[in-house]
Amino acid sequence: MTPGDVLPEPLLEKIRGRAADYDRNNGFFHEDLRDLAEAGYLKLFVPADDGGLGLGLAAAAQCQRRLATAAPATALAINMHLVWTGVAHVLKARGDNSLDIVLDEAAQGEVFAFGNSEAGNDSVLFDSRTVAAPLPGGGYSFTGTKIFTSLSPSWTRLGIFGKDAAARDGAGELVHGFITRQAEGYRILDDWDTLGMRASQSATTVLDGVEVPAERIFRKLPVGPNADPLIFAIFACFETLLAAVYTGLGERALTLGVENAKRRTSFKNGGRSYAQDPDIRWKVADAAMAMDNLYPQLASVTADVDALAEHGAQWFPKLVGLKVNATETARRVVDLAIRVSGGSSYFRGSELERLYRDVLAGMFHPSDDESAHNTVANAWLGPLDG
């Protein structure tokens, strides 16, 4: 099954046609979500026997790359649902069925969102500023603030985590669980008014003692880095699917740059197309070569996840390296496309103007540039002394 089978051209064009209005109105992509759900797109990782498409990470990443060529903000938000279903798929492939409930509920139409990010928490998954307080019966109440909660208007299941500081003899324990939309004790703020990726509606979620019953607590991990398969699965799906979105964004920018270079004409050169201008041709070639370096990296890393490849300590450098390369390459390609396209791309309503704003979000997603370089340096050189 190809990405074109999953996202046929008529559906892709319909989604592309809505993107500008969502961005202009700072609105959520309700119509896109409805159409994607009806097409089975939210079930990419759900096994075929359960009514899903039964895809692996490599195929899902190519679908996300294709979706992002039409609407990056829609693709970015859908990523958060696909991260959780992808995590369940990656774990299942490794003999861990602890998140089969995610695949089961996704098969029934539930929409998952990712509620782990916290302001000021540069430990990401290895610590939390959210308090997880144990309750009788094995459940927990969670109190804290989660940021960048994509799909805020429409999720029905939100994955969260927090720290039980008293657990493990005071060393602390990180508790992971899912809340439902019907749960009491959380608030979604109306605070999403951003430079780009506006349709994702990634609002802040405040947890005011929201309770997660024991059956929806799916992991308890020690504070700090650890080798639990859940951590690998989250990083593998989060980083690769993010990379896929920004790869698609860069791909679209290159396409628009080529179209504009052919369309524009030069008065001083007798009305010849800018496609004949050596400087413009150099910029297009530079953008194309940058993208050509990115496509095989995305394909290779996701294929290795599917194949259960053993990269050991090099796995995390590969994942964060892909994410940084994708976001930075896309930003560079958008910039080149705008330079090729001329002043028309500077006006609001231009697709390239929107892509220029959307692509900037890439620097804020984990792993950020500093963290990624630290991860790679540690893998190759060992940790800093002291």
Sequence letter at residue 205: T
**HEC readout, the chain:** CCHHHHCCHHHHHHHHHHHHHHHHHCCCCHHHHHHHHHCCHHHCCCCHHHCCCCCCHHHHHHHHHHHHHHCHHHHHHHHHHHHHHHHHHHHHHCCCCCCHHHHHHHHCCCCEEEECCCCCCCCHHHCCCCEEEECCCCCEEEEEEEEEECCCCCCCEEEEEEEECCCCCCCCEEEEEEEECCCCCEEECCCCCCCCCHHHCCEEEEEEEEEECHHHEEEEEECCCCCCHHHHHHHHHHHHHHHHHHHHHHHHHHHHHHHHHHHCEECCCCCEEHHHCHHHHHHHHHHHHHHHHHHHHHHHHHHHHHCCCCCHHHHHHHHHHHHHHHHHHHHHHHHHHHHHHCHHHHCCCCHHHHHHHHHHHHHHCCCCHHHHHHHHHHHHHCCCCC
Q: What is the CATH number of domain 3-111?
A: 1.10.540.10
- Residue 51 is predicted with a pLDDT of 96
- Residue 265 is predicted with a pLDDT of 80
Query: What pairing do the DSSP bridges indicate for beta strands 157-164 and 203-212?
Result: unpaired
115-222 carries CATH number 2.40.110.10: yes
| Residue carrying structure tokens 């992509």 | 29
Nearest C-alpha neighbor of 142 from the set 152, 154, 151, 134: 134
- Residue 141 is predicted with a pLDDT of 98
- Residue 379 is predicted with a pLDDT of 86
Encode the chain (386 residues) as per-residue pLDDT tens digits.
899 999 999 999 999 999 999 999 999 999 999 999 999 999 999 999 999 999 999 999 999 999 999 999 999 999 999 999 999 999 999 999 999 999 999 999 999 999 999 999 989 999 999 999 999 999 999 999 999 999 999 999 999 999 999 999 999 999 999 999 999 999 999 999 999 999 999 999 999 999 999 999 999 999 999 899 999 999 999 999 999 999 999 999 999 999 999 998 877 777 788 899 999 999 999 999 999 999 999 999 999 999 999 999 899 999 999 999 999 999 999 999 999 999 989 999 899 999 999 999 999 999 888 889 988 988 898 888 87
* 49/160 Cα distance (integer angstroms): 29
Is the bond preceding 367 in cis, omega lying within 30 degrees of 0? yes
- Residue 113 is predicted with a pLDDT of 98
Q: Where are the domains of the chain?
A: 3-111, 115-222, 229-381
* 335/352 Cα distance (integer angstroms): 9
- Residue 275 is predicted with a pLDDT of 92
Model pTM score: 0.96
Please name the fold of domain 229-381.
Answer: Butyryl-CoA Dehydrogenase, subunit A; domain 3 (1.20.140)
| Region for 32 from its dihedrals, namely left if φ exceeds 0, alpha if ψ lies in -120 to 50, beta otherwise | alpha
- Residue 13 is predicted with a pLDDT of 98
